[in-house]
């Protein structure tokens, strides 16, 4: 497996990592619905046993539960992957979430405890909110790195101007933005900035939260649990839903050439972008993880990428 170096770090990553958003379970604002912890642990073990060497989670996923499940799974795993998590989304006793850059030092201690480790391999600011507190928050992140609480520090959902402000305080190892063929906003400025400044990019939602897996349908969308955040996402509603399912059907045809799913093609399309270091891919059970494993090795040709981009242009 060809591994990719993450920005200015000494971390060499498998092309895809395990994304732990969905395994946070239900009963929080950005839930994917109910989730069985045993399925989650089996999914993580499958990923690790298959060569995926990093897991990306966040404190807010399941309001701490995702980190707890990751910590438990890694304790019993065959090998120890890199652990990446995020701060700056906090919640209160009513489970209401707010953005804060003033509690990072408390947050890191909570994450270390839940993950059952002494050092976090990559610690990321989840959102640059409030904007006026970026410098204060990034200063604490740099302090945590010097103290050895975290090995490397990164950002998530930051704009170029926000990254420039942070860089004046301490180097940024990585940025984590959304990026899929249904959401290409970062191509204009964010990806070029990261490429120029040797900031690694870990894109999340390469299959756009399941829309491009090839397994989604209008019936499945209609049957989503009430606490599945995708119920209210614009790309899961008409008229975009029909268009997006048509894109997935087109990707199935590309996938047939390689004997892989539409979702694997969607992931590989993002990895073709030079600025992308590796993609975050979720999995709620071992079978789902097994289905995306071909994305580790699949490399689309320039002609195939042009073919996909042509279809996207014809179906805006």
Q: How far apart are CA 41 and CA 177, in angstroms?
A: 26
Active site residue 236: no
Q: How far apart are CA 84 and CA 68, in angstroms?
A: 13
DSSP-derived secondary structure letter, 183: B
Contact 74, 80 (CB under 8 A): yes
Phi, psi of 163 (to 5 degrees): -65, -40
Alpha helices for 229-261 (secondary structure H):
240-258
Question: To which H or E segment does residue 174 belong?
Answer: strand 174-176
Collapsing DSSP states into helix, strand and coil, what is residue 201?
A: strand
User: What residues does 154 pair with on adjacent strands?
Assistant: 124
| Buried residues in 30-65 as b, exposed as e (16+ CB within 10 A) | ebbbebeeebbbbbbbbbbebebbbbbbbbbbbbbb
Q: How far apart are CA 242 and CA 206, in angstroms?
A: 19
Active-site annotation holder among 61, 82, 204, 236:
61
> Which residues are part of the catalytic machinery?
61
């Amino acid at each position: 497996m060809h591994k990719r170096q993450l920005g200015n770090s000494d971390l060499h990553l498998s092309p895809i990592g395990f994304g732990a958003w969905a395994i946070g379970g239900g009963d929080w604002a950005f839930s994917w619905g109910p989730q069985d912890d045993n399925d989650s642990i089996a999914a993580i073990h499958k990923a690790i046993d298959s060569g995926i060497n990093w897991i990306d989670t966040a404190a807010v996923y399941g309001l701490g539960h995702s980190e707890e499940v990751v910590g438990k799974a890694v304790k019993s795993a065959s090998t120890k992957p890199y652990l990446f998590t995020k701060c700056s989304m906090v919640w209160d006793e009513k489970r209401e979430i707010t953005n804060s850059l003033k509690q990072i030092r408390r947050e890191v201690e909570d994450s270390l405890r839940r993950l059952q480790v002494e050092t976090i391999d990559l610690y990321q600011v989840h959102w640059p909110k409030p904007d006026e507190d970026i410098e204060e928050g990034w200063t604490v992140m740099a302090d945590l790195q010097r103290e050895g609480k975290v090995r490397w520090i990164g950002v998530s959902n930051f704009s170029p101007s926000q990254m420039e402000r942070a860089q004046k305080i301490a180097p940024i190892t990585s940025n984590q933005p959304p990026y899929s063929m249904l959401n290409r906003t970062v191509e204009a400025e964010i990806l070029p900035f990261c490429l120029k400044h040797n900031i690694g990019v870990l894109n999340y939602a390469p299959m756009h939260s399941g829309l491009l897996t090839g397994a989604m349908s209008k019936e499945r969308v209609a049957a989503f649990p009430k606490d599945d955040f995708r119920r209210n996402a614009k790309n899961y509603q008409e008229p975009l839903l029909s268009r997006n399912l048509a894109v997935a059907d087109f990707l199935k045809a590309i996938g047939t050439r390689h004997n892989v799913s539409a979702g694997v093609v969607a992931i590989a399309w993002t990895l073709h972008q030079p600025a992308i270091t590796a993609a975050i891919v979720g999995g709620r059970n071992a079978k789902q993880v097994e289905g995306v494993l071909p994305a580790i090795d699949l490399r689309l040709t320039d002609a195939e990428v042009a073919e996909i981009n042509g279809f996207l242009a014809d179906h805006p």
